[in-house]
Amino acid sequence: MNMNDTSVRVGEIQLWSKSLIMTSKEAPADAEAASHRLLTRAGCIRRVAAGVYTYLPLGWRVLRRIQAIVREEMNAAGASELLMPALAPTELLRETGRAEAYGDLLFRFEDRHGRDSYLGPTHEEVITDLMRATITSYRQLPLNLYQIQSKYRDEYRPRAGLLRGREFIMKDAYSFSMTLEGPGGLNEMYDLMYQAYTNIFTRCGLDFSAVEAEAGPIGGSASHEFMVNAPAGEDKIMSCPESGYAANVEKCEIGHRDHNFDGPPTGDLEEVHTPECTTIEAVSKFMKVKPRNMLKNVVFQVQDEESPVRWIVAVVRADHDANEGKVRDAAGVPIGIAEDGAAMKGAGFAVGYISPRATIGRSDILLLVDPDAAQGMGPDGTKGMFWATGADKDEHHVKHFNWVREMGDALKDVRVVDIRNAEAGDPSPRVEGVALEERRGIEVGHIFKLGCKYSDAMGFRVLDENQQQQSVIMGCYGIGVSRTMAACVEMSHDDDGIIWPAAIAPYDVLITPLKVEDDAETMVVARDLATKLALAGLDVLVDDRNERPGFKFKDADLIGIPVRITVGDKGLAEGSVELKRRGEEGKGSLVKVEEVGAVLGIQD
């Protein structure tokens, strides 16, 4: 390429009849999400199998535009593109333990020679393997490498079209640094990606926010998710309206909450037989006790062989959800939700009927209590707090649990700490007296400080300045490219169809001649106009189908091209065409043919 070439790119002209744009009135029967419905109806995608789609010409054009933006911003941030295979040997995943950790999410099979293989859900292992084979010295770092590629995850419930697919397009980047701080360090790489992501989603025309996410191994705010604001989103975002603090509910801190175990008993401890009550709802209904008056005791298993503490019992009010990340942080050891019923029974737990009393006198169990559960007085402050909880005996619960009476001396070993998911109305962790708000979002990007997790597991060390072997510090950065397209539709549509943000629309302009015979004046003008706009760099679709105007207008609204130019005999009699922007109310405006360029902001 000539580096001094500043000429404008020439746009493309496409005739509708020569592309496969199969619009339809019918939405898939199971399509709840607007993006699933509209992308299908607009002929952008077609389902091949559950969570597997063909990207049809219109949809593929949008994806290519998103990818172009992603490439420009990644390259500008100093990253370099490569392409790894989707197919890889499972022994790589065994090195990091993810062959097991991924479980059923992994598409895994044997090839004809019996070699265990998988289709990449993400590529930390493949790239770390590449790097350990090629990088030997600190002089070769830092590096940030990325690819845009199909990823495979056998999601239990693929849903909402492209929002959760089993094959989907991801941009994944991996950075490699010698240090955390300073030039070329992980923090700098991370900040560069944060900025690149902000640029990408802004350029895509998305209404999004970057929120703090579950941090993982390094701690701090070492992970951010980029969320498109959309009510249909699966993720819950909590935010403080005063400070601007925003976090995924999995990560969101809660401001100070008072607690006090003291309070008079509400009655004698009463055992209730609760057969076949396996859920909070069932127990609540059976005992006629509201979940907010019940203590939920969630058991976690410690995953560190060295730790003397083997179990954690996390107590929250039954209308709240225990938060695994917060429990882990409070305990200071790696944990997982206890799933092995036999092991739990072996440890003395009456699974499903546990109370805080199960921890008394047990040095192998840590008891953590959320402040809202650590209450002895009722809400009005006059009577004791009524609690129901497990009886530590199969098929039994108790009423009138009183912390002081039931726990006795053991109460002093109890740790009260925030271990639950935040909810709307909870105190903001940043500004006193302000309540957290809740909204929904779609995770389109995720940046993550990995640290040495993969380089340690896979033995990726290089010589540092002092000729010492040192583990390389990694970051990883993902964008759901196909999900971004769907998120965009969730954010921007109306009853009639998609309203593409200009930067990622499949075409910039749709020209609709009302008569389409080759020699019809409307068709001649449409062609001339298309050529002129294309020369100015716009991509133009010409609806040359011999259909009724009303039918073509409906399709135009459905596929959502930002500008529609209608060429009809009536307007042409006055030298005009009708120009309408998608999403704009009313009929559009008459514009002189020679002024169309100016109206669209194009220089002749």
Interacting residues with Mg ion (CB under 5 A): 446
Binding mask 343-382 for ligand ATP (x = CB under 6 A): ----------------------------------------
| Cβ closest to Mg ion, residue 446 vs residue 453 | 446
- According to the binding rule CB under 6 A, does residue 568 interact with ligand ATP? no
> Among Mg ion, ligand ATP, none, what binds residue 165 when CB lies within 5 to 8 Å by partner kind?
ligand ATP
CB contact set of 422 (below 8 Å; sequence gap of 6+): 238, 247, 249, 252, 253, 254, 436
> Among ligand ATP, Mg ion, none, what binds residue 164 when CB lies within 5 to 8 Å by partner kind?
ligand ATP
Q: How far is CA 376 from CA 148, 261, 289, 403, in A?
A: 55, 4, 17, 7
72/359 Cα distance (integer angstroms) = 56
What is the nearest approach in angstroms of ligand ATP to the Cβ of residue 479?
Answer: 6
Residue linked to tokens 């005739």: 15
Q: Which long-range contacts (CB under 8 A, 24 or more apart) does 512-517 make?
A: 512/542, 512/543, 512/549, 512/552, 512/553, 512/556, 512/564, 512/565, 512/566, 512/567, 513/542, 513/543, 513/544, 513/567, 513/568, 514/549, 514/566, 514/567, 514/568, 514/569, 515/569, 516/544, 516/545, 516/546
| Cβ closest to ligand ATP, residue 30 vs residue 569 | 30
Half-sphere exposure of 500 (CA within 13 A, CB side): 30
By three-state DSSP, how is residue 117 classified? strand
What is the nearest approach in angstroms of ligand ATP to the Cβ of residue 320?
Answer: 22
What is the nearest approach in angstroms of ligand ATP to the Cβ of residue 151?
Answer: 7
| Cβ closest to ligand ATP, residue 165 vs residue 501 | 165
490/227 Cα distance (integer angstroms) = 12
- According to the binding rule CB under 6 A, does residue 59 interact with ligand ATP? no
Q: Compute the Cα dihedral for 362, 365, 369, 373 and give only its sign.
A: negative
| Cβ closest to ligand ATP, residue 35 vs residue 428 | 35
> Among ligand ATP, Mg ion, none, what binds residue 497 when CB lies within 5 to 8 Å by partner kind?
none
* H or E segment to which residue 124 belongs: helix 124-134
Hey, which residues between 161 and 200 contact ligand ATP (CB under 6 A)? Answer: 164-165, 168, 170
390/403 Cα distance (integer angstroms) = 13
What is the nearest approach in angstroms of ligand ATP to the Cβ of residue 15?
Answer: 32
52/46 Cα distance (integer angstroms) = 9
Number of residues that bind ligand ATP (CB under 6 A): 15
Hey, which residues between 481 and 500 contact ligand ATP (CB under 6 A)? Answer: 482-483
CB contact set of 521 (below 8 Å; sequence gap of 6+): 515, 569, 572
- Amino acid letter, residue 484: T
| Cβ closest to ligand ATP, residue 237 vs residue 596 | 237
CB contact set of 39 (below 8 Å; sequence gap of 6+): 45, 59, 161, 162, 485, 486, 489, 498
CB contact set of 548 (below 8 Å; sequence gap of 6+): none
Residue linked to tokens 């789609």: 53
433/128 Cα distance (integer angstroms) = 47
| Cβ closest to ligand ATP, residue 293 vs residue 482 | 482
| Cβ closest to ligand ATP, residue 121 vs residue 568 | 121
Strand-pairing partners, residue 441, are 229, 235
Binding mask 115-134 for ligand ATP (x = CB under 6 A): -------x------------
Write out the two tokens for 484.
Answer: 């971004």
Q: How far is CA 591 from CA 73, 571, 575, 599, in A?
A: 36, 9, 8, 8
- According to the binding rule CB under 6 A, does residue 207 interact with ligand ATP? no
- Name the residue number minimizing CB distance to ligand ATP: 480
For ligand ATP, which residue of 72, 95, 116, 155 counts as binding (CB under 6 A)?
155
- Name the residue number minimizing CB distance to Mg ion: 446
Stretch that binds ligand ATP, among 4-12, 13-21, 258-266, 475-483 (CB under 6 A): 475-483
Binding mask 426-465 for ligand ATP (x = CB under 6 A): -----------------xxxx-------------------
What is the nearest approach in angstroms of ligand ATP to the Cβ of residue 22?
Answer: 23
| Cβ closest to ligand ATP, residue 165 vs residue 568 | 165
- According to the binding rule CB under 6 A, does residue 224 interact with ligand ATP? no
What is the nearest approach in angstroms of ligand ATP to the Cβ of residue 172?
Answer: 7
| Cβ closest to ligand ATP, residue 120 vs residue 427 | 120
What is the nearest approach in angstroms of ligand ATP to the Cβ of residue 480?
Answer: 2
| 38 φ, ψ (degrees, to nearest 5) | -75, -35
Which spans of this chain sit near ligand ATP (rule: CB under 6 A)?
Answer: 122, 153, 155, 164-165, 168, 170, 443-446, 478, 480, 482-483
